[in-house]
Amino acid sequence: MDQTLAPITAPIPVRASSTDDPAELLRFAIDAHGLGAAALATLVDIRGGAARALGAHMAVAADGRFCGYVSGGCVEAAVASEALLAMAEGRDRTVKFGDGSPFFDIVLPCGGGITVAIHVLKDVGALRHVLDRLERRKAPGLAYSPERQTLEPIDPLPRACWLDRDFLTVYRPRTRIVLSGQTLEAQAVARLAEASGYDVIVRGRGEGAADIIDPFTAAVLLHHDLDAESAILEAALHSPAFYIGALGSTRTHRRRVERLTAMAFGQDDIRRIKAPIGMFGPTRDATSLALSVLADIAAARLVAYA
């Protein structure tokens, strides 16, 4: 009796989560690889405008689940489909979308174009290296070779880029906010920062902070008393924090500058302090101040580590 084999159908891509946190994407890829197969898609070229930066990732599992973004959401399902094909073939592939792409039915709203490199994971050692470094709040990097179809750990460069024939991706630890103050404003900043996915550590008057302020930390001082902020401000000024902000009027800050000058802090140190704190002018309620402070921190982080 003749038997007819049923056709093999590819899984339908389904978004598993809306995260774009690189650490979460890499954990997803590691878990998916352990269950069978996985691919890591990386934005490696931008033509014109784009919604994501070079180095943005998507992780795709062999069952069709995916997470992450390489655009504003307009091509992710197509990227996942390409990743499933790459896994089925067992070979990496590079795909263009938008301007310069063969997919005429996929148009990026920004009018530009992107190129996405899809790597079929053979092992996850390089990804574990990145997660280990991020856990220790160090900046790791990965080098992807389309020719060798390999992914290797490297010391990070300042930005994601092509170097010769390899594409280098850089990762940064999650932004940490060391917050000092028992004020209503401090409570509002803490709530909004936690909701925004920042790592928030609250320090009271007199509590040490030197051991937790690293280059990926913003120090936020929300006291109504210069004496109360003194210890943590000194610690912040001696630290590599990318942002230091302090509550108070322009007159209050002049008094702060006088105190710091008397303590032998130089002008370069003092100019690191954003005071009055925040991105926009004087506020009259805690929520507006919290928005102003977090917007200022986000902008400073982009300048330092975009």
Summarised one tens digit per residue, pLDDT across range 291-302 is 999 999 999 999
Spatial distance between the Cα atoms of 180 and 199, rounded to a whole number of angstroms: 14
Spatial distance between the Cα atoms of 113 and 75, rounded to a whole number of angstroms: 11
User: What is the tens place of the pLDDT at every residue in 234-259?
Assistant: 999 999 999 999 998 999 999 999 99
Which band of pLDDT confidence, cut at 50, 70 and 90, is reported for residue 233? Answer: very high
Q: Flag whether pLDDT at 8 surpasses 60.
A: no
Helix (H, G, I), strand (E, B) or coil at 162: strand
pLDDT at 1: 40
Spatial distance between the Cα atoms of 59 and 71, rounded to a whole number of angstroms: 14
| Whether the model pTM is above 0.85 | yes
Spatial distance between the Cα atoms of 98 and 111, rounded to a whole number of angstroms: 7
User: What is the tens place of the pLDDT at every residue in 154-194?
Assistant: 999 999 999 999 999 999 999 999 999 878 889 999 999 99
Q: Which residues contact 120 (CB under 8 A, 6 or more apart)?
A: 37, 38, 39, 86, 87, 90, 91, 92, 149
CB 117 within 8 A of CB 41: yes
Q: Flag whether pLDDT at 138 surpasses 80.
A: yes
Which band of pLDDT confidence, cut at 50, 70 and 90, is reported for residue 2? Answer: very low
Backbone angles phi, psi at 223, to 5 degrees: -110, 155
User: What is the tens place of the pLDDT at every residue in 59-106?
Assistant: 999 999 999 999 988 899 999 999 999 999 999 999 998 765 565 445
Could you give the percent of the chain with pLDDT greater than 70? 92
Radius of gyration of the chain (CA): 24
Q: Which residues pair with 150 in a beta bridge?
A: 145
pLDDT at 101: 57
pLDDT at 164: 93
The structure tokens listed for 62 are: 């062999």
pLDDT at 302: 93
pLDDT at 4: 45
pLDDT at 6: 43
Spatial distance between the Cα atoms of 32 and 80, rounded to a whole number of angstroms: 14
Mean predicted lDDT score pLDDT of the chain: 91
CB 265 within 8 A of CB 237: yes
User: What is the tens place of the pLDDT at every residue in 208-231?
Assistant: 788 999 999 999 999 989 999 999
Spatial distance between the Cα atoms of 213 and 235, rounded to a whole number of angstroms: 8
